[in-house]
Amino acid sequence: MQDTVHGEIIGVPVKDKDIYVDALDYIERSFSSDSEHVRLCVRPPRFIEVMDQESTEKRYVVEVDIVPSISIVKSKVYAVRLPNFKESTNKVEFEKEAILRQSGFKNRASD
């Protein structure tokens, strides 16, 4: 990992933008019910190029907005199965279903 300065935006190299668009399918598959709400609330990724005069490699900030419209999510609780990519099998496996809640900047399983 290269040395970075706190707050420095370095971006990530993106060889194929379709991979990030396809990731929305995995997000949708993480919900056992109401998966159509994902398509309604999660916006497609935006690729913002990071300018670096010292590098010829194009790097991007990949931004995905989540717009939890009250008309869609009001009074709903969503159980999710988080996806994990396993390099050994080259496949995505889903964790056990859980209900998560926001706790500061992290998501934690609800009791």
The DSSP result for 31-44, as a single string, is: BSS-THHHHHHBPP
* pLDDT recorded at residue 5: 79
Statement: residue 14 has pLDDT above 80: yes
**What 8-state DSSP symbol labels residue 89?**
T
Give per-residue pLDDT as tens, 48-87.
999 887 878 889 999 888 888 889 888 888 888 888 888 8
* pLDDT recorded at residue 2: 59
The residue that leads in pLDDT, 21 or 49, is 49
Q: Looking at residues 31-57, what average pLDDT do you find? A: 86
Statement: residue 13 has pLDDT above 60: yes
Statement: residue 1 has pLDDT above 50: no
Give per-residue pLDDT as tens, 85-104.
888 888 888 889 888 776 77
Give me the sheet containing 12-13, strands edge to edge.
12-13, 59-63, 46-50
Cβ–Cβ < 8 Å for 50, 13: no
Statement: residue 44 has pLDDT above 70: yes
